């Protein structure tokens, strides 16, 4: 397995967690704990107990658990952007480029995910993003967080894919709107299939994996719309 090193700007943290062993441990174990407990039950005290440290040591890296979640989701979006660049850089056909991009968003191209983030189980990080990422902006502090530039990773990814949509159909009037919609759907449909199955036809009991079912849904949705 090769390793991808993602750089996140200083605005996301007080001290770069990738610069120390403790910081890297905070990141990796917080993903595991968020996956187990959910954002509401997750606390720095519980994280400190798990890593054998103190709450004060975690606060040296992140102001609060919302900032930590924003950091983790931003890291995930930056990883997605890297994967899209890696896979589609030499593809000139815009239809094929868009199709490959959708595969990556839905994790339908498993060959790419042999490249992991250091010390991180990307499958667990994906689950955290699917279940918790909307909590980074469905908050009264959304404008404050946005003004700090902390949604830049998500916006950059959205814009990159919107350019592919525009390349495929220059006349389509809502490239950013459709891209932000499919970005959310790529995770929401997985969550619905696992926890709220009456909201989707995607099934966890199918012989076809959930990721591939979501890919076929979004692929059909966007290409029928754009054509």
- Chain centroid to CA 22: how far? 23
Distance (Å, rounded) from C-alpha 81 to C-alpha 104?
A: 9
On the question of pLDDT at 1 being above 50, the answer is no
On the question of pLDDT at 224 being above 80, the answer is yes
Helices (H) and strands (E) in the chain, counts: 10, 0
pLDDT at 88: 92
Read off the tokens for 199. Answer: 């909201």
Instruction: Kindly report the pTM of this predicted structure.
Output: 0.89
Read off the tokens for 79. Answer: 């990883």
pLDDT at 120: 75
CA dist 196 → 36, 70, 101, 169 (Å): 18, 25, 26, 34
Distance (Å, rounded) from C-alpha 211 to C-alpha 200?
A: 13
Cβ atoms of 48 and 57 within 8 Å: the answer is yes
pLDDT at 4: 62
Cβ atoms of 72 and 2 within 8 Å: the answer is no
Q: What is the DSSP annotation of 12-35? A: G-SS-GGGSHHHHHHHHHHHHHHH
**CB contact set of 81 (below 8 Å; sequence gap of 6+):** 153, 156, 157, 160
**pLDDT tens digits for 149-188?**
889 889 999 999 999 999 999 999 999 999 999 999 999 9
Collapsing DSSP states into helix, strand and coil, what is residue 3?
A: strand
Distance (Å, rounded) from C-alpha 146 to C-alpha 162?
A: 20
For the chain, domain boundaries: 72-226
**pLDDT tens digits for 33-80?**
999 999 999 999 999 999 999 999 999 999 999 999 999 999 899 889
């Amino acid at each position: 397995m090769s390793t991808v090193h993602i750089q996140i700007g200083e605005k996301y943290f007080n001290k770069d967690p990738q610069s120390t062993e403790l910081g890297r441990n905070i990141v990796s174990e917080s993903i595991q704990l968020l996956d187990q407990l959910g954002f509401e039950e997750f606390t720095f005290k519980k994280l400190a107990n798990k890593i054998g440290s103190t709450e004060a040591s975690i606060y040296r890296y992140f102001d609060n658990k919302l900032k930590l979640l924003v950091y983790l989701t931003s890291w995930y979006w930056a990883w997605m952007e890297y994967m899209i660049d890696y896979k589609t850089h030499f593809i000139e056909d815009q239809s094929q480029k868009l199709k490959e991009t959708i595969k990556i968003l839905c994790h339908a191209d498993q060959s790419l995910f042999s490249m992991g983030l250091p010390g991180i189980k990307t499958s667990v990080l994906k689950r955290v993003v699917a279940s918790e990422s909307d909590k980074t902006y469905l908050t009264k502090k959304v404008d404050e967080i946005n003004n700090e530039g902390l949604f830049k990773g998500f916006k950059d990814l959205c814009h990159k894919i919107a350019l592919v949509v525009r390349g495929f159909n220059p006349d389509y009037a809502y490239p950013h709107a459709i891209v932000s919609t499919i970005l959310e759907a790529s995770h929401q449909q997985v969550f619905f299939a696992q926890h709220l199955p009456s909201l989707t036809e995607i099934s966890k009991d199918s012989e076809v994996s959930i990721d591939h079912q979501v890919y076929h849904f979004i692929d059909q949705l966007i290409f029928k719309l754009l054509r």
